[in-house]
Amino acid sequence: MTTHESPKQMPVQPEHVAGARFLHPARRMVQYISLLIIIVIPLSGLFRIDMEMGGVIMLDHQVWFSDITIVLGMWLFLASLLMISYAMVGSAFCGWMCPQNTASEFANMLTRKLLGRRANMMDLSGDKMQVSVRRQSSLNYILLAIGLIVPAALYALIPLLYFNPPSVIWSFLTFSEVARQTGSLYWIYLIFLALFLIDIAAVRHLLCKNFCFYRVWQQSFQSSESLRVAYDKQRSDDCADCHFCADACFLDIDPRQIQAFDGCVNCGECVTACDVLHNKSKKRSGAGLLTFMHGSHQPLAGTTPLAAFFKRTKKPLLATLAGALLFATGVLTYQTDDFSVYHIAEGSSGQVLDYRINIAHKLLHPTTVRLRVEGLNSSEYQLDRDAVHFDTAGRADVVLHIKPSLSKGLHRIRVLASADDGWSGHFDVTHFSQGKVMDN
């Protein structure tokens, strides 16, 4: 720049952001980490559904649906976080974390590598699969079949992880005697295997394009300010007769004509494709014509990114805080054990003499619960056992028998329970005794 040149006369070279070097590898890493997290969550005990007890297991703690503050707080917290992510980054979950997209992209890559670039498995246009002549070999078809069965077998195992403890899954994988005795698990796995194999081998992105309700639900929270792909129309001359970005999109979207509300999942493959082309081209210079942006190119004056964030996420952020508060309240008031007392049945004389004490242990760790009775002398009642040992979470019953020789009238009885893990509780019972019944 000379002293006679004004800033407007200076040639402007846009800063090159090498999306090809980090965007695509970063997305692949996030996809595989997300899949790994989905597998690790039930194996670590962080979350698993316990159908037998009618609740979920979180960090080796049984959480019943009666623990409403924990259940409601957790779902409110997670749902509102998802709403915030939709408002900020649109459908990026689909493009960066969804296991369906991960499997579909892997299947597309493998198919095109073994059978050619035009070998599309399912196309609503009715076009047949076009297999490259040079790749029409039995070995390629065998490798493709193996490459599709392996991820389908892995995906079919994931639902089982969320409904069975790791010990059961290990027995299933090692074909132990316990697993063979409960052969229904193998049938369930085969059903999931067939479904996932059809999905990965044939359906693939067709599900995302036309049948994914979750994707539609995400779009209901998007706005014109959500993250989207932007096209630099001022440099459209560089785009003449080029469809590289559109060819890179697995959802068949032309990013040069993208709208605020469409099927884009913000995967960034088009951004990377345009950047790769500009890197290799000798005729084109500078960065690619595609990039990510929020809203318009002209942000409001005086608006900071933090202020813009709170403006877009004010309501869901309040729901997130409410969910976190409910969840924290539930954790603080959580009871590791629970018990109740109720009468079994009336005796032949018409009076209640037996009570069932139902004890529930909600931790996947061993403990012993001890019982004692207040309000009666030891000669006036009998417990069939005064201590119950649990190796893991479960339920147990203890019978409290009131002797018929108890004096006539109302008796206030308190059953007390205490566990080795520090929990204690009591249950009050009002018992009416008719006095000693004389035989005729």
pLDDT at 312: 72
pLDDT at 87: 80
Do 355 and 255 lie in one domain? The reply is no
Residue 13 has pLDDT above 60, yes or no: no
Of the three residues 215, 249, 280, the one that is the final residue of a domain is: 280
User: Is residue 291 included in any domain, yes or no?
Assistant: no
pLDDT at 412: 93
User: Is residue 301 included in any domain, yes or no?
Assistant: no
Q: Strand pairing partners for 388?
A: 369
| CA 193, chain centre distance (Å) | 20
Closest-CA residue to 427 (of 356, 367, 377): 356
Instruction: Give the count of domains, the chain.
Output: 2
Of the three residues 280, 298, 314, the one that is the final residue of a domain is: 280
Q: List phi, psi (to 5°) of 22.
A: -135, -25
Higher-confidence residue: 337 or 287?
337
Higher-confidence residue: 227 or 126?
227
pLDDT at 285: 66
pLDDT at 284: 67
Q: List phi, psi (to 5°) of 58.
A: -130, 115
pTM for this entry? 0.79
Residue 298 has pLDDT above 70, yes or no: no
Confidence of residue 142 (pLDDT cuts 50, 70, 90): very high
Confidence of residue 195 (pLDDT cuts 50, 70, 90): very high
Residue 343 belongs to domain with CATH number: 2.60.40.10
Confidence of residue 127 (pLDDT cuts 50, 70, 90): low
CB neighbourhood size of 383 (10 A): 16
Do 273 and 344 lie in one domain? The reply is no
Do 260 and 347 lie in one domain? The reply is no
pLDDT at 438: 47
Provide the domain limits for residue 146: 19-280
Of the three residues 264, 280, 296, the one that is the final residue of a domain is: 280
Give Cβ neighbours of residue 204 (< 8 Å, ≥ 6 apart).
103, 104, 107, 108, 121, 122
User: Is residue 40 included in any domain, yes or no?
Assistant: yes
pLDDT at 322: 94
DSSP 140-173: HHHHHHHHHHHHHHHHHHHHHHTTS-HHHHHHHH
User: Is residue 58 included in any domain, yes or no?
Assistant: yes
pLDDT tens figures, 153-170: 999 999 999 998 888 888
Q: Strand pairing partners for 429?
A: 413
Nearest 5°: CA angle at 178, between 177 and 179?
90
